[in-house]
């Protein structure tokens, strides 16, 4: 006994019938095939008692030979199968639950049974095949084949890119692809790109396909998506229906278990149970999260939960059509934003953590924080976009500011620019000048890293002016420092020296020695660019002195690397190699493996030993 399972429209019936035809052609079933559509998801599904009558009729037992009582009908059915020596295939299509078909199963293993269902019959000893959406090449082939009946229809070959885009919009779901193909056959005078444009204009493939669906498929079934999804949704218990609706509102293509629990206001164990039930109903797919041993495990576990795009669109539509459900959804989004903000803030603290400061909770090291952020990135970035709505603006702006360092570190520049702009607009609408200034700061930093230096100069200049107007001297100093970095990147080194000097003096005035060291290091880089090598070396020395005081080994490594590059430029190669080696030691202490390896390679180029010396780093000379 085998079962084909998957969401509605995935192609279970088509695959079962095709498999039955091929098996018959190979002579596997000389007794033929018995097929019954149980219509398990219709308003009036076929009962087991009704199905056995249909099967007896197919076996030739009818009229006066048909027993009068239901019990005798089942007995006759089982006896007939037991005496039937020619192996037969029984296809029980569209079964919703085991009571529909249990009494229809043959009493021996001589015959074969193939069941199709949107619900996994996990309680039975079946061989279960879970169907997924089609790969891209098979999705495009399905539409191409559907249009090939017209020998003059060359649109698939003329518009390959539009065809691929259409299959993506259909979520590679066979029923959606069939509907799209039928629409294209009716629109023979129009290109595939016009259907793509129509779907994009509406912003909802489900609505366009549902409105454009007409007729039936080769099995006599209606070519319509929404009724298929509605029947699956109506069968769900309330807790599952609620979580499905809320999961459709989550940002990103998939959602972690913790985030799903926060969305629903459930504890994690309860959420897992409901999610597993939805997965058994083939409305949610459990996806193993990618793991990277070098980055640590994700704190929320290895499983994420994915909705098909059309199921997501259906869930959003259900919520949008009911005021009570809309309020339920808005409250869920607030919970999710609060969850994301809290943990992103703690992860950001870990990325900025220095020895001697309180240890951030949850994330034991930088790698664990980065792993969690990597796993949730799509959802985190997507949630920031909710800042456009006043209800979510404060939380979304806070979340955006917590993600800036992570996105810069991982070099996700497009995401970093997008969320900084979103946060800035939201803060300005709310009259939050400090929040707006912070957003300009984050935007300037990512623009600089992305190589858009002049735009970064403008952004940091705006941040400086806003902080100065607010009387926040510490943040004004940081803005001066950032402005200096942007000016240096833009090739305006003279102005950069002035900016870093101003930042250094302000940090010293407010008593922030750690940031003063950063300003000294940046000043050294800029002085070096202007040919003032001795002044640059003195600035690096001041920076090293303070960074070592704080045991900020990553900054120590950066400063030593800058010092090594300065000596390399002056062709003092032996000293350059020594400083590169010391830099690699500092990076190793900071668990910055990539930087450590790179600087160690540089040291090797200048004849230094390939591994750092096993003794404490000597004081700077």
Q: For residue 171, is it within any domain?
A: yes
Q: For residue 146, is it within any domain?
A: yes
114 forms beta bridges with 2, 91
Domain boundary among 226, 244, 259: 226
Alpha-helical runs (H) found in 155-191? 155-158, 160-169, 174-186
Domain boundary among 79, 102, 130: 130
How much is the pLDDT for 293?
37
What is the rounded CA–CA span in Å between residue 512 and residue 519?
Answer: 11
Domain boundary among 91, 108, 130: 130
Q: Kindly list the distances between the CA atom of residue 553 and the CA atoms of 365, 465, 596, in Å, as whole numbers in the listed order.
A: 14, 32, 11
Average pLDDT value for residue range 346-362:
87
CATH of the domain at 101: 3.40.50.300
Number of domains the chain is built from? 2
Instruction: Give residue-wise pLDDT tens across range 170-197.
Output: 999 999 999 999 999 989 999 999 999 9
Q: For residue 531, is it within any domain?
A: no
Q: For residue 601, is it within any domain?
A: no
For 160, list phi and psi in degrees, rounded to 5: -65, -35
Over the range 549-579, which residues count as b (16 or more CB within 10 Å of their CB) and which as e?
ebebbbbbbbbbbbbbbbbbeeeeeeebbbb
Q: Kindly list the distances between the CA atom of residue 316 and the CA atoms of 201, 309, 334, 573, in Å, as whole numbers in the listed order.
A: 17, 11, 16, 64
Residues 6+ apart with CB under 8 A from 1: 105, 112, 113, 114, 115, 124, 125, 126, 127
- 196 and 99 in a single domain? The answer is no
Look at 218 and 420; give whichever has higher pLDDT. 420
- 11 and 121 in a single domain? The answer is yes
* pTM for this entry: 0.77
How much is the pLDDT for 398?
93
Place of tokens 């510490």: 474
Q: For residue 286, is it within any domain?
A: no
Q: Is the pLDDT of residue 240 over 90?
A: yes
Residue 592: pLDDT band with limits 50, 70, 90? confident
Burial degree of 614 (CB within 10 A; 0-12, 13-18, 19+): exposed
Q: 171, 319, 172: which is closest to 247 by C-alpha?
A: 319
> What is the domain extent for residue 145?
136-226
Q: 551, 469, 481: which is closest to 516 by C-alpha?
A: 481
- 65 and 156 in a single domain? The answer is no
- 8 and 120 in a single domain? The answer is yes
- 119 and 176 in a single domain? The answer is no
User: What is the signed CA dihedral for 443, 445, 448, 452, rounded to 10 degrees?
Assistant: 0
Burial degree of 372 (CB within 10 A; 0-12, 13-18, 19+): buried
DSSP letter at 252?
Answer: S
- 167 and 111 in a single domain? The answer is no
How much is the pLDDT for 223?
67
């Amino acid at each position: 006994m085998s079962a084909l399972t998957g969401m509605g429209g995935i192609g279970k019936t088509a695959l079962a019938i095709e498999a039955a035809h091929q098996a018959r052609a190979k002579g596997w079933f000389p007794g033929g095939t018995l097929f019954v559509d149980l219509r398990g998801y219709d308003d009036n599904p076929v009962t087991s008692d009704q199905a056995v009558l249909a099967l007896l009729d197919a076996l030739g037992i009818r009229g006066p030979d048909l027993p009068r009582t239901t019990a005798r009908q089942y007995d006759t059915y089982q006896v007939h199968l037991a005496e039937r020596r020619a192996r037969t295939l029984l296809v029980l299509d569209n079964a919703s639950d085991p009571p529909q078909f249990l009494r229809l199963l043959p009493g021996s293993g001589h015959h074969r049974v193939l069941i199709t269902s949107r619900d996994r019959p996990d309680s039975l000893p079946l061989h279960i095949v879970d169907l997924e959406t089609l790969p891209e090449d098979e999705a495009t082939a399905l539409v191409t084949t559907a249009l090939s009946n017209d020998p003059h229809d060359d649109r698939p070959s003329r518009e390959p890119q539009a065809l691929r885009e259409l299959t993506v919009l259909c979520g590679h779901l066979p029923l959606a692809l069939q509907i799209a193909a039928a629409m294209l056959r009716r629109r023979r005078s129009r290109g595939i790109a016009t259907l793509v444009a129509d779907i994009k204009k509406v912003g909802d493939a489900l609505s366009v396909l549902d409105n454009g669906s007409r007729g039936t498929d080769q099995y006599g079934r209606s070519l319509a998506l929404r009724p298929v999804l509605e029947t699956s949704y109506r069968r769900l218990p309330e807790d599952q229906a609620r979580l499905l609706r809320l999961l459709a509102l989550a940002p990103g293509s998939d959602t972690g278990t913790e985030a799903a629990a926060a969305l629903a206001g459930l504890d994690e164990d309860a959420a897992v149970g409901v999610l597993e039930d939805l997965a058994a109903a083939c409305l949610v797919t459990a996806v193993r999260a990618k793991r990277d041993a070098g980055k640590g495990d994700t704190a929320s576990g290895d499983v994420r939960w994915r909705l098909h795009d059309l199921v997501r669109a259906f869930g959003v539509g259900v919520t949008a059509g009911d005021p009570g459900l809309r309020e339920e959804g808005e409250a869920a989004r607030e919970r999710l934003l609060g969850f994301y903000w809290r943990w992103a803030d703690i992860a950001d603290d870990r990325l900025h953590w220095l020895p001697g400061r309180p240890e951030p909770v949850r994330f034991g090291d930088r790698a664990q924080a980065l792993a969690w952020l990597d796993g949730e990135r799509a959802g985190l970035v997507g949630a920031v976009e909710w800042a456009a709505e006043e209800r979510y603006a404060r939380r979304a702006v806070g979340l955006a500011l917590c993600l800036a360092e992570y996105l810069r570190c991982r070099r996700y520049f497009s995401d970093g620019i997008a969320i900084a702009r979103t946060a800035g607009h939201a803060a300005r609408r709310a009259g939050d000048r400090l929040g707006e200034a912070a957003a300009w700061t984050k935007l300037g930093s990512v623009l600089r890293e992305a190589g858009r230096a002049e735009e970064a100069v403008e952004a940091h200049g705006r941040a400086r002016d806003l902080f100065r107007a607010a009387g926040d001297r510490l943040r004004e100093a940081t803005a001066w420092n950032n402005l200096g970095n942007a000016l240096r990147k833009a090739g305006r080194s003279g102005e950069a020296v002035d900016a870093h000097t101003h930042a250094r003096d302000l940090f010293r005035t407010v008593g922030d020695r750690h940031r003063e060291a950063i300003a000294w290091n940046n000043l050294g880089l800029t002085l070096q660019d202007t040919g003032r090598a001795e002044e640059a070396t003195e600035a690096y020395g001041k920076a090293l002195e303070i960074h070592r005081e704080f045991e900020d080994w990553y900054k120590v490594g950066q400063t030593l690397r800058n010092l090594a590059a300065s000596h390399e430029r002056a062709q003092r190669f032996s000293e350059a190699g020594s400083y590169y080696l010391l830099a690699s030691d500092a990076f190793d202490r900071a668990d910055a493996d990539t930087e450590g390896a790179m600087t160690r390679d540089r040291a090797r180029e200048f004849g230094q030993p390939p591994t750092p010396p096993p003794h404490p780093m000597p004081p700077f000379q």
